[in-house]
Structure formats: structure tokens, C-alpha cells
Structure 1
Amino acid sequence: MTLSLDYAALSDVGRVRRNNEDSAYAGPHLLLLADGMGGAAAGEVASAAAVQVIRRLDTSNITGPDMMEALAGAVHRANERLSELVEEDPEREGMGSTVTALLFDGEHLGLAHLGDSRAYRLRDGLLYQLSHDHTFVQSLVDEGRISKEEAFTHPHRNLILRVLDGRPDSDPDLEMLDVRAGDRLLLCSDGLPDYVSDQVIAASMADGTPDSVVVELITHALEAGSNDNITCVVADVVETAPASGDRPQLVGAAAELAQGGTGRSEPTIAVRGHGEGDGGAGGAGMDPEELRYAPRPPKRFLWLRRLAVLAVVLALIAGGGWFGYSWTQKQYYVGTDGDYVAIFKGVDQDFPGLSLSSVYERQPLQVDKLPTYSREQVEGTIQADDLAGARTIVTELQRVADECAAKTKPPVKPTTSPTPGKPVTTPTKPAVSTPVSKPPATAPSTPASTPAGGNPDDCDGVR
């Protein structure tokens, strides 16, 4: 069974606003609504641009799972288009738009949603909201902090958290939905559900044709005091040829701009039952539409801010590097400098093009005068707490070297008598007047025995 859509779209500038920032499109395979925001920052341009890009999906050759990929790609292309428009005219900085789209292949519906416009389905007399609002009050409802009824009258119900605005994080919700003959679909901007209850919306959708329903819904919103633009797209899922035919309908800012207008139009339809002075209080003070985008910082001078962020990051890196280098230059260790023991300032690490240590004091102690255990320690470097600690380590190494030198010195032989057969003892003179005779060059040293494993008091390996 092949199903089709019988649709109608209508937009009204409202009783307070002078320009229509809503845009909508209805075609045989696509229902689309975009609610622009940003006030003077060209919300009508944002919604019209989004609709003009995404409406290209209205083709019969996108079916099944491909609809999700096609919707996501179209929304991202629309987001890129908004970014280009801001680059072309910085005065458009801060503009954005909601997007709610239903793609139809005759058997299924693909939903793409971003923002607080809504998608509904009426089936068997029951109204069901297909989209999920990306608003502050909806987050409170999700967390259980307020009820749905409280959200309906909350003072910040228009505060939007996610929107199509040219930023790289504007990803839509995507969902595949079932559809059957007799379903009635509705897309609407927040000018309707913010002022008209779901019960009234369901009652209006229960009877009539799509053309009569869009008129009735907008009338209810105006009579309820809506101070916003109001746009509705209604479509029936039918088995027969649709009364609307296959001619697309484009309304709101997208239609005005396509005709070369400014988007500052009179109401699209004449509506019954409201006076000229009604709703004037709703426009007093700051326009609520100006506040919808308040939580999102503007992107003005984006390149300058990026440069500033880069400068801060580089400064932090440089500061961290300098702090780290300064810390290394307060460290000391004992190591070897050629054949001698030395005190080094810094740490025993090197980076390409940068040495983190240098010789601070070269000691007269030769490395080969140390026993094996102490020599290996020095060659592997001995870390000190500070300069005084490093000098204490050198003093201890000198003590070990002196002890080993004393242990390894050969004994002095007694002097023989010049007269044969009669030994004569030579009186010992003070050390200052008689130099100590050096042992013969061939006299072997007698190193002490050292067990394996190394002991700082053993003198093995002393040369």
C-alpha cells in the first residue's frame, strides 16, 4: 500500500511583531519548519536559509535508513550556510534557527529536530509529541524539578539551549518513526504551544482539512495573546490522491525573501476576534525573542578571540616550561666529570637542544680512587637534597677514598747496616726533615678481599 501526504502550511506575523522570523515548507516528501531568532541579527535570514537548503530533500528517491543520513547531512549543510552568511555580514552575528523536519518515503517518517519548534502526531484521537524541546524548562521537567503544567507558565519557557547557528556542535536529534493511513501530522513554531494547550491543539486537529486546521490553530494562538510569530504545517497520511496535489508550499520569511522582500510582512491571513490594542503589553520592555539566544555568547570577532585563546594557551605552556626549568636549576647531584668527581646543578636529563644540568663544582677526587661500589654510585649519579647535601656526599666519598688509600699502601722495609754481620738501627728523624722513601715501582699492592655485592667500606677496584 502506497501512502501519500495531503498538506497545508500557513504563517502569521502575529499581533506584536513587525517581521516574521518563521519559515516553513510542505511538499510531497518533506515537511519542514524553522523558527529564526536573534531579533535585529537577522533571524528571518537564518530560518529562510535553513529551509532553502533542507528543502532539497523533497525527493522520492530517499528511502528507509538512508533518510537518517540524508536528514543529518542536510542539517549540517544548512548549519554551514549560516556560518557563511555570518562571515559575509558580521551584523548577522548571533542569528540562529530551530529546525524540525519530517522526511516521508511512503512507508516511514524520518525526524530531524533541533530547538523548540515541535512535531506532533494525532492517531486514533490521541495527540503525541514526536520532538523533544531543547529548552531550559524542558531540562527542568526531565530532571523532575517542575511539572509539565508549571513549564507551560514558566517565565523562562522561551530560553533555548540548542539551535542551528553555524557552530560545529549543532547536531540534531534523529529518529525513524512509523506511519499509517489516518495519521495527522503537525509542525509548529513555539508561538502556538507556548500559548495553546495540547488539549486545544488535539481538539482542533480532530476535524477538518489540513487547510482549515492551520487557520484554526493560528487563530487560537492569536486569541490566547501570543506575542510571537505563529507558523503551522499540517499533513494527513492518506491512501488516495492528496487534495493538495504535489505542488510544494513555502511560507513565512522564506517565501518573502524568495520574492525579494524583507521578511517584514503583514499577517499572512486575516484572523477573527482580536482588537488592535490587544497584546500591547506583551511587547513592553525587552522583546522575549531577544532573550532566547542570551545564554549563547556571540561569535563577533571570532578570529580575534581564537588568537587570544591561542596566546593564553602558549603563555600557559611557556609559563609551565619556565617554572619546570627553574625547578630543575635548584636541584643538585654528584656525578663524574671526566676522571673526577663533580657536583652538578640541575637534573640528569636532556632534551633535544636543551641541557638541564651543568658542572657546578669539580672536585680534586679522582673516580678511580674510589672502591667499585662507590664508583658505580657516582657514575650512576647520586641525587642530593641541596648544595650542602651534595658537598656532604663528596666529603663522604673522600673519606672512603682516603681509607682505601691507607689500606692499600705497602709497608716500608728496614734499612741494613753498612758493616757486614752487624746490624745497625738507623734512628728515626722527624717527618719534616726526612722524606718518606717511595716503595719500589715493582712493589705489588695488596687490596683487601671484598665479597660480591659491594660494600662502601670495601676497597676492591681502587686503582
Structure 2
Amino acid sequence: MVFQGSSVAISHTGKVRSNNQDSAYAGSNLFAVADGMGGHAGGDVASSIAINRLAVLDHVYETPSDAERALRDAIADTAARLIETVKTQPELAGLGTTVSALVMVDDYAVLAHIGDSRVYLYRDDTLTQITTDHTFVQRLVDSGRITPEEARYHPRRSVLMRVLGDTDADPELDTFIMPTQPGDRWLLCSDGLSGVVDDSHAAKALGQGLPPGRTADILLRQALDGGAPDNVTIVLVDVGGQHPVFTGTPTIVGSASTPTGVEMPTARPARTGWLHTGRQAANEPTHFEPAPEFLEELIEEDRRRAKSRRVCWVVSLVVVLAALGIGLFAGYSWTQTRYFVGADEDTVVVYRGIQQNIGPLTLSTRWADTGIDLDDLPGFVRDSVEQTITADSLDHAQRIVNQLRDTAEDSP
């Protein structure tokens, strides 16, 4: 049957890129995001080819398995088209695209995924990432070498291990079938969103229960407020729910929405010199596939980075411990310039240090026994001695002792 629910697709160039290489589709049963790469028009072409090829899958399927097979065939055909495109337009060599697609079949969601665009499911107030990023840093996370938080800021987080490109006619694709239910919210997005807006903020936006269009606008605003260094593309799909069901023509956004196709830019001579590097950051690809030998270099680089982190951690720990040790030594040395008068079992004693102790560490030592018997002192004076009398110096302590001695001698 035709999917019952509502959806939206939006795409924004972001605050840094000069063009939008993302594409997305939201139809009656098909929903997809493609994040193109390749510099200049290469990314635009790749993501447009992917979305336009997938668009023909937007119809009712008898079984989820039929939809899964159709997705696999369409994405494989997309890879073939990318290869053919580069043959006829060599200037596009190196183009590629991620693909994250979702087909609704009765009570099931059929997913296909390659690259680092993502599919999330928001259900019962919990946001779950359904797809796995096909990236170098995700491999490091899976192997336990870095944490997910470290992966968010890793300098090689954009290195893709699997992607639709112009070199592999048989790409390795993740496909799976999941049951879905009324109230589910499916979020498909490029890494322009997931790389800036963390899961907790995305979940908060999804949990407000607003219509898909309003929710997508909130997510986009969060990405823009976070700097939006890349194109931001969002497809949000609500299963059932209180909002109007999808009607009308499919929504296509990003480079695939260009009516006359992607226009090839005119090549400009590269400017050289120390003011010009010969390429513009906004047009550089945000991802790339490493060659096998480069992957080994990345792994070795990460080993060096991990070793450097461990060395820095050890050095920092040593510095902290040294500072703590110096502080403790200085503090203890100061206490040994202090004196106080107190009581032993039956006599008045001068102590060096301070009255306080730190756990088992005693901060005072017996300096001298005055020979003054406590029993020779009046009651209130004896109480003062037993509670200790602080002296500013050894001379001050000696004066206190002389006063106590005089008191003891005068006492009847």
C-alpha cells in the first residue's frame, strides 16, 4: 500500500561552501539523501545521478525483499553510470557520492546505505543511529582505538572507506529491513548536519512533535548556528501521526533539483604565488576514498597520534604530580616554622609544627619538655595548655613557657 505519513526534504549550501553538492528526494514511498564529492561540479553530478536513478523506485512494492532488491540494483546501476560519465567527461574524474535511501513497504522500512550520510530512527523519545559510517575513523572506533567523541573531531573524519565512485562497478552496500510503527520519525541527513549537531540536540528537536517541515527547519538552524562548514541536507519522514499525509509531487532538493541539469563551470587558470594556493577551500571535496597504500599511511599516522597523546598524557601527569609534590613539600616546610605549647601526659611541652594532622601524616613533633607539671598550674591555665597555645615563633613559645613557669611557681 502507499505509505501513510508525512515527510519533508530540505537542503542548504551552508556557510562555507560556494555550491551545494548534496541532493535529496522525498516521495510517496522513497526517501533518499546523497552527498556528492569530487570538487567543482563533480559532486553535483554524482549526487544528481544517484537521486535521479533512485527516483524511479518510488512506487508500491509487494514485499520488503522486492524493495531491497530494487535498491541494490539501482545503486549498482548508479555506480555504472558514474563510471560512464567520467569516460565521456574526464574532467569529472574522482567524482563520487554517498547514498542513504529508505523505502516504506507496509509496516517495514527498507534501507540501503553507503558512505557517511546517516539514517536515524526516533522512537519512544530515543534517537538511534541505524546506519554505520563507512569511514576511517569509524573503523578506529569499532576497533576500540578511539572513542566516538574523539571521532567527531578526528582530523581524518572525512576519509571514506566505501562510496559510490567512478572506480568500483560493484560497490559494497549495506541493506537491511526493519519493522516500523506509527509514531516513528526517520531522519536521513548528510554529514553537514550530523557533523555539527550532536545526537542530544537532534533528539530534542525531534521530540517536540512539530510537523516535519518545522522540525527540519529547527535542525537546519542548529547546523547554521554551529557554523555549517558543509552542505546541510535533511529528509524527515513521519510514520502515521497527527500531521497531514504526504500528497502531491515528490520533493527534490539540492543539485538534483536543477531543472536543466548541473551546469559545468568554465575552467579558470590557476593563480599561483604565496597569496593563492591554486584552489578554493569552498570547492574542495569534503570526502575522498584512500588508496590502499594511503590507508596504511593513515593507520601509521593514527598510531603516531595515539602515541603522541599517550606521551602528552604521561608528561602532563608527571607535571601535575611534581607540582603537587612541590606544593606539599612547601606546605610541610612552612608548618615546621610554626610552634605551639601543649601538654604531654603530665607536663607542659613545646611542639614544632601545627596542631592539625592530615590523615596518618602528623604535622607536629615534640620540640622540648619544659619540666612544668600540669598539676602546678591553675585549672583554667591547665585547660588552655591542654587545648594548645599557638606561638608565632620559637621565641614567642619560650615567652609563653616562662609565663607558665611563673604561674606555676606562684600557684599555692
For structure 1, the 5+ residue unaligned runs are: 265-283, 298-463
Report the counterpart of residue 290 of structure 2 in structure 1: 295
Q: Secondary structure at the match of 2:127?
A: strand
How much has 1:183 moved relative to structure 2? 0.1
List per-residue Cα deviations over 1:91-133 (Å, max 9, x = no partner).
1110000000001112111110000000001001100111110
Report the counterpart of residue 200 of structure 2 in structure 1: 199
RMSD of aligned residue pairs (Cα, Å): 2.2
1:115 aligns with 2:115: yes
- Kindly tell me the number of residue pairs found equivalent between the two proteins: 277
Matches of 2:288 and 2:282 in 1, distance apart?
Answer: 12
The answer (yes or no) to whether the contact 2:113–2:174 under 8 Å persists in 1 is yes
Q: Which entry has the higher C-alpha Rg, 1 or 2? A: 1
Q: Which amino acid aligns with 1:221?
A: A
Report the counterpart of residue 211 of structure 2 in structure 1: 209
Matches of 1:288 and 1:254 in 2, distance apart?
Answer: 18
How much has 1:239 moved relative to structure 2? 6.1
Matches of 1:295 and 1:4 in 2, distance apart?
Answer: 42
Report the counterpart of residue 171 of structure 1 in structure 2: 172
User: Kindly tell me: are residues 125 and 289 of structure 1, through their superposed partners in 2, closer, same or farther at Cα, counting changes over 3 Å?
Assistant: farther
Give me the TM-score of the superposition, normalised by structure 1: 0.57
Q: Secondary structure at the match of 1:290?
A: coil
1:133 aligns with 2:128: no
How much has 1:233 moved relative to structure 2? 0.3
User: Kindly tell me: are residues 194 and 293 of structure 1, through their superposed partners in 2, closer, same or farther at Cα, counting changes over 3 Å?
Assistant: same
Matches of 1:79 and 1:251 in 2, distance apart?
Answer: 21
Matches of 2:26 and 2:264 in 1, distance apart?
Answer: 19
Matches of 1:62 and 1:93 in 2, distance apart?
Answer: 39
Report the counterpart of residue 154 of structure 1 in structure 2: 154
Matches of 2:26 and 2:45 in 1, distance apart?
Answer: 19
Report the counterpart of residue 100 of structure 1 in structure 2: 100
How much has 1:261 moved relative to structure 2? 5.5
How much has 1:236 moved relative to structure 2? 0.3
How much has 1:294 moved relative to structure 2? 5.4
Q: How does 1:7-406 map to 2 (within 5 A)?
A: 7-40=7-40, 42-166=42-166, 167-207=168-208, 208-238=210-240, 242-256=244-258, 258-260=259-261, 262=263, 286=281, 289-290=284-285, 292-293=287-288, 295-296=290-291
Matches of 1:141 and 1:250 in 2, distance apart?
Answer: 34
Q: Secondary structure at the match of 2:165?
A: coil
User: Kindly tell me: are residues 169 and 214 of structure 1, through their superposed partners in 2, closer, same or farther at Cα, counting changes over 3 Å?
Assistant: same
List per-residue Cα deviations over 1:293-332 (Å, max 9, x = no partner).
15149xxxxxxxxxxxxxxxxxxxxxxxxxxxxxxxxxxx
Return the structure number with greater relative CO, CA threshold 8 A, min gap 6.
2
Q: 1 or 2, which has the higher helix percentage?
A: 2
Matches of 2:255 and 2:91 in 1, distance apart?
Answer: 18
Q: Which moved more, 1:228-237 or 1:160-169?
A: 160-169
For structure 2, the 5+ residue unaligned runs are: 266-278, 293-412
User: Kindly tell me: are residues 140 and 104 of structure 1, through their superposed partners in 2, closer, same or farther at Cα, counting changes over 3 Å?
Assistant: same
User: Kindly tell me: are residues 61 and 175 of structure 1, through their superposed partners in 2, closer, same or farther at Cα, counting changes over 3 Å?
Assistant: closer
Report the counterpart of residue 270 of structure 2 in structure 1: none
How much has 1:171 moved relative to structure 2? 2.3
Matches of 2:51 and 2:229 in 1, distance apart?
Answer: 23
Q: Secondary structure at the match of 1:192?
A: helix
The answer (yes or no) to whether the contact 1:2–1:107 under 8 Å persists in 2 is no
Report the counterpart of residue 455 of structure 1 in structure 2: none
Q: Secondary structure at the match of 1:292?
A: coil
Matches of 2:127 and 2:13 in 1, distance apart?
Answer: 26
User: Kindly tell me: are residues 225 and 263 of structure 1, through their superposed partners in 2, closer, same or farther at Cα, counting changes over 3 Å?
Assistant: farther
Q: Secondary structure at the match of 1:39?
A: coil
How much has 1:58 moved relative to structure 2? 0.4
Q: Secondary structure at the match of 1:75?
A: helix
User: Kindly tell me: are residues 260 and 77 of structure 1, through their superposed partners in 2, closer, same or farther at Cα, counting changes over 3 Å?
Assistant: closer
Q: Which amino acid aligns with 2:175?
A: L
How much has 1:158 moved relative to structure 2? 1.2
Q: Which amino acid aligns with 1:220?
A: Q
Q: Which amino acid aligns with 2:211?
A: T
Give me the TM-score of the superposition, normalised by structure 2: 0.64
How much has 1:151 moved relative to structure 2? 0.9
List per-residue Cα deviations over 1:191-236 (Å, max 9, x = no partner).
0111111000111111211001111111111111121000000010
How much has 1:62 moved relative to structure 2? 4.5
Q: Which amino acid aligns with 2:213?
A: D
How much has 1:169 moved relative to structure 2? 3.5
